[in-house]
Amino acid sequence: MSKVYSSAVVIIPPQENWESIQEIRKIYDRNINRWMPHITLLYPFRPRNQYEDLEKAFSEMCKNIKPFEVSLKNFSYFSQGHQKYTLWLNPEPNTSIIYLQAEILKIVPDCEDVNRYKNGFKPHLSVGQIKGKNNLQKILSDLRLEWEEITFSLNIIYFISREESKISKFKISKQFKFKHE
């Protein structure tokens, strides 16, 4: 099956929680105009023309997932080498997100690209790219002092897609709701 970089499966925090995330991203994230705030579950993913074929399996899987609370309270980073870093918020409990992603992979096992990293799949919400270790430490220190935790109920996952052009933005294409209590 084919995969494309213009399609992904993600968690998107509710829009009422975006303001403080976007304030940080406006300063540090070169991808703010391409991606909404999100936690990637699968990327790359199937092209849009295959979404309908996947809809039933994703709907059924989501009906078996109970909604759960996600908190964004701690910052962390990935080293990209050469004093380049990706700054991110750590969604907790990440074990619930890892379980969710594993359930999704049962439907599309070849879409495991985000699991191939050295330490496997690491749920995160990227907020920027930073150059220089000292700069990173200063920014982390400042953000940790000012950040107020965001908590939201995770009860939907999304298929997002964009056009193939270099300046296109990701948009929600499909959403799948979790089991209702």
Task: Tell me the per-residue pLDDT of 20-46, one tens digit each, with 9 for 90 and over.
Answer: 999 999 999 999 999 999 999 999 999
Q: Which of the four pLDDT bands, split at 50, 70 and 90, describes residue 128?
A: very high
pLDDT value, residue 149: 97
pLDDT value, residue 172: 98
Please say if the pLDDT value at position 117 is more than 90: no
Please say if the pLDDT value at position 179 is more than 90: no
Residue 45 has phi, psi (to 5 degrees) of -135, 180
For residue 4, what are the contacts with CB-CB under 8 A and spacing of at least 6?
44, 45, 46, 47
**What is the per-residue pLDDT across 89-102, written as a single tens digit (0 to 9) for each?**
999 999 999 999 99
What integer best gives the mean pLDDT of the chain? Answer: 95
Please say if the pLDDT value at position 181 is more than 80: no
**What is the per-residue pLDDT across 135-157, written as a single tens digit (0 to 9) for each?**
999 999 999 999 999 999 999 99
For the chain, domain boundaries: 7-177
Cα 109 off chain centre by: 18
CATH number of 7-177: 3.90.1140.10
Containing 95, the helix (H) or strand (E) segment is helix 94-105
Angle of the 51-63 helix axis to the 94-105 helix axis, nearest 10: 130
pLDDT value, residue 79: 93
pLDDT value, residue 98: 97
pLDDT value, residue 44: 97
pLDDT value, residue 102: 97
Residue range 47-69: mean pLDDT, rounded? 96
**For the chain, percent of residues with pLDDT exceeding 70:** 99
| Torsion, Cα of 87, 170, 157, 150 (10° steps) | 40
For residue 53, what are the contacts with CB-CB under 8 A and spacing of at least 6?
none
Does the pTM surpass 0.85? The reply is: yes
